[in-house]
Amino acid sequence: VDSHPHAIPPLPPRGPGGRSASVLCNPLKILHKILSEPRYGGGCELCPVGWTLHRRKCFWVTSKSSSWRESRENCSHQRAQLLVPEDQGELVTGLILKPTRYFWIGLSQPSVGMAWTWLDGSRLDQSRFNLSTPNASGACGALREDRIISETCGSALAWICQKEAFFLSVAIGHLLLVVPGGLQDRACTS
């Protein structure tokens, strides 16, 4: 066994192929110690590997290029959506990650003359986000530098996906993983 103070000892078998439930909880007790010392009830926000955590959201910036529709579908397959920023700060997050490229975001204009709409159904508030060239021929929103621009939906651009971060909270004897859409609670016996 490793001499590290948080090393997890090997699990002794319990019957043929089984393991003791109390032994399985040892890693949870160690995780509790790591996450919550010196305070009780600690936890952390987590994102999938390759995603960036910012303000309780996970962001993934692709290096590939696709149409707006294909980009939206790619995010959906990852249980995410194209970026729908709450404020200018979330636009800046995209800029920090890749400041010199164009990126699809979750904004579109269903048809000429209709309001620009985010994927969550809300309308673009031009007092919060300025849409450059709103009357151009493009009907999908893209992020370029510090502004949102109108772009032809069939253009091949990179894209930014977002989803809620997972919250991992540990209490004595329980590992609580809060995932978007539900909770998972794992109880341990001593």
pLDDT tens column, 24-44: 455 556 555 555 554 444 567
* CATH value at residue 99: 3.10.100.10
pLDDT of 21 higher than 50: no
* Alpha carbons 141 and 151: distance in angstroms, whole number: 6
The reply to whether 37 falls in a domain is: no
Q: β-pairing, 140-144 with 102-108?
A: antiparallel
CA dist., res. 44 & res. 75, Å (int): 24
In a domain, 177, yes or no: no
Q: Is residue 100 part of a domain?
A: yes
User: What is the domain extent for residue 81?
Assistant: 52-163
Residue 46 lies in a domain: no
User: What pLDDT, in 10s, does the model give residues 139-184?
Assistant: 899 988 777 888 999 999 999 999 998 877 656 555 555 555 444 4
**88 confidence band (pLDDT: 50, 70, 90):** low
Bigger pLDDT: 179 vs 185: 179
Domain assignment of residue 30, yes or no: no
Helix ranges (H only) for 14-87 are 21-24, 26-36, 68-77
- Between residues 118 and 132, which one has the greater pLDDT? 118
The domain tally of the chain equals: 1
Q: Given this model, what pLDDT does residue 132 score?
A: 73
What's the mean pLDDT in 8-20? 44
In a domain, 28, yes or no: no
- The answer to whether residue 6 is domain-embedded is no
Closest CA to 166 of 35, 47, 53: 47
Question: In the structure, what pLDDT confidence band is assigned to residue 76 with cuts at 50, 70 and 90?
Answer: very high
Instruction: Let me know if residue 142 belongs to a domain.
Output: yes
Lowest model confidence (mean pLDDT) among 16-25, 33-42, 86-95, 120-129: 16-25
pLDDT tens column, 91-107: 655 555 555 678 999 99
